[in-house]
Amino acid sequence: MSQDLSRDPSAGDTPAAAPAALSFSRLPLAPATLANLQQLGYEEMTPIQAASLPLALAGHDLIAQAKTGSGKTAAFSLALLSRLDARRLSPQALVLCPTRELAEQVTQEIRRLARAQENVKVLALCGGAPIRPQVASLEHGAHIVVGTPGRLLDHIERGSLALDTIGTLVLDEADRMLDMGFFEDIVAVARQCPKERQTLLFSATYPEGIEKLSRQFLREPKQVKLVERHAPLTIRQRWYEVREEERLHAVSLLLKAYRPASTIAFCNTKQQCRDLVDVLSAQGFAALALHGDLEQRERDQVLIQFANRSCSVLVATDVAARGLDIAQLEAVINVDVTPEPDVHVHRIGRTGRAGEEGWALNLASLDEMGRVGAIEQVQGRESEWHPLSELKAASDEPLLPPMVTLQILGGRKEKIRPGDVLGALTKDAGFAGAQIGKINVTDFHTYVAVERGIAKDVVRKLSAGTVKGKRVKVRFLDEVTQR
Ligand code: AMP
């Protein structure tokens, strides 16, 4: 089940009753808890709370899409607190977090929310802190344990933490935990919990691993998704009518006229993606395709180059782009109109984030006008049409990405860490930190983004010097990958 909040924030109640529907008092919570929420200044539920709390309090497993700042912590905390029996001093809820900072924030929020209940003990168990005091605290007993996967596993293996009394398991920021390579640790921890339990999974994005986790550990989960139907005002949308034979060329006209540093171009099919990358590459754009036929390693390389701003245009199908979270995106180009209006809103919602303005540029042929009409209906606004002939190249310079990706032979297996590479570049080779972009370390390779202007120099100096005391092989990644 998926809950659509923009249509009905109360998820089940009549829209006219919106304020009452957002009140915590409609939830089956104890009066003392409600009074405490009021004291905390939580007057009404946030959208993620309104969508997830009724389901979580009813005992369902959940997969909820939520970011930091959405009120997700209170959403799962109120659910786990409602199931707690403070008279039994054994761990009844376990919250897994990707980082120590998050675990500490979650611990504080649970403590605030638990003030209404007597004597609830919440314990944070994170890596980076000495283990002995944690063992001592565990000996005194706790109702709720919050921690990072590795450290929790340490405690389980030492026998200082037993999970056979856990009633609620929460995976917070599950996508980040997977990014940080915690999959196996999460699996090992979850296996220690009783089968009869509630599992709540919160994640901002849905990379493949999330589905794998939910298949293994959640039982008939309800999905809570906040469908954004109205594009934020920071997104400026324009439509261009094209004939079929000029569609791909029109994308390059848009790029030359608007000159966005980072663009995702959405196509409806893989073949369209391939054709568009061929057209753009032939014209000198740094464009890469992302679609389902890529091998994992190719996919990783494409994503690394796009995220570190050394590829200007990512040409993608909707399926391939699922779960992508790119912070800075100046434009989204809809090369084909999607038959599903919600998908359109989702596509363009990737630009114009965090108050930055973004362009949503759309191409449509006469055959696609029915789809455009459906999109207008969902968005509740008319399309702004512009003629292609209006597009003029804004500059004679080619549109080049600001960064270049270098590939170093050697990665995690050689125990290379981002700091080693940064050190080699800034301390040994004398480059400024600001000239160096993202550094991604994979098992066998390290990818480092550097400013275009210094790239050759970096290759020369790194090849002549060392990383972690060893000589390394360095090359331009775009010589390795075929465009
Ligand atoms: P989170 O997304 O869980 O990190 O929460 C963001 C912030 O919102 C935290 O500081 C919470 O204390 C606060 N918060 C959570 N729920 C509510 C609510 N219903 N009303 C007001 N503030 C809230």
What confidence score (pLDDT) does residue 61 get?
Answer: 97
For 231-248, what is each residue's pLDDT tens digit?
555 788 999 999 999 999
197 CA → ligand 1 middle, Å? 26
Residue 205 has what pLDDT?
A: 82
Mean pLDDT to the nearest integer, 147-155: 96
> What is the three-class DSSP state of 436?
strand
Q: Residue 409: its pLDDT value, please?
A: 92
What tokens appear for 36 in the block? 């405490």
How many angstroms does the Cα of residue 88 sit away from the middle of ligand 1?
A: 29
Q: Which of 48, 102, 109 to mutate to test the pocket of ligand 1 (most atoms within 8 A of CB)?
A: 109
Higher pLDDT, 470 or 191: 191
Q: What does the pLDDT read at residue 483?
A: 34
CB 435 within 8 A of CB 451: yes
Considering only the C-alpha atoms of the chain, give the largest distance between any 2 of them, rounded to a whole number of Å: 74
DSSP letter at 58 equals T
203 backbone dihedrals φ, ψ, rounded to 5°: -155, 140
- pLDDT score recorded for residue 356: 66
Q: Given this model, what pLDDT does residue 54 score?
A: 96
**Across the strands, what pairs with 331?**
263, 359
What tens digit of pLDDT does each residue of 328-349 get? 789 999 999 999 988 898 888 8
For 4, the token pair is 């659509």
| Joined tokens for residue 165 | 């009394």
Q: Could you report the per-residue pLDDT of 89-102, keeping only the tens digit for each?
A: 999 999 999 988 89
Q: What is the mean pLDDT of residues 253-278?
A: 96
pLDDT of 382 over the 70 cut: yes
- The strand pairing partners of 439, in sequence order, are 448
Q: Domains along the chain?
A: 20-225 (3.40.50.300), 250-390 (3.40.50.300), 403-481 (3.30.70.330)
- Residue 229 reports pLDDT greater than 60: no
Rounded (5°) CA angle 315-264-322: 85
Q: 140-143: which pairs have CB atoms within 8 A and are 24 or more residues apart?
A: 141/89, 141/90, 142/89, 142/91, 143/84, 143/86, 143/88, 143/89, 143/90, 143/91, 143/92, 143/93
Query: Cα separation of 200 and 195, whole Å?
Result: 14
pLDDT of residue 479: 64
Q: Which H helix or E strand runs over 271?
A: helix 270-282
Ligand 1, atom nearest to 68 Cα: 2
pTM over cut 0.75: no
CA of 68 to the centre of ligand 1 (A): 9
Between 17 and 258, the higher pLDDT residue: 258
pLDDT category at 465 given cuts 50, 70, 90 is confident
Coil/strand/helix, residue 383: coil
Q: Is the pLDDT of residue 259 over 90?
A: yes
Ligand 1 site, CB within 6 A: 42, 45-46, 49, 68-74, 109
Arithmetic mean of pLDDT, 390-419: 91
**pLDDT band per the 50, 70, 90 thresholds, residue 378:** confident
309-332 pLDDT, tens digit per residue, is: 999 999 999 877 776 767 678 999
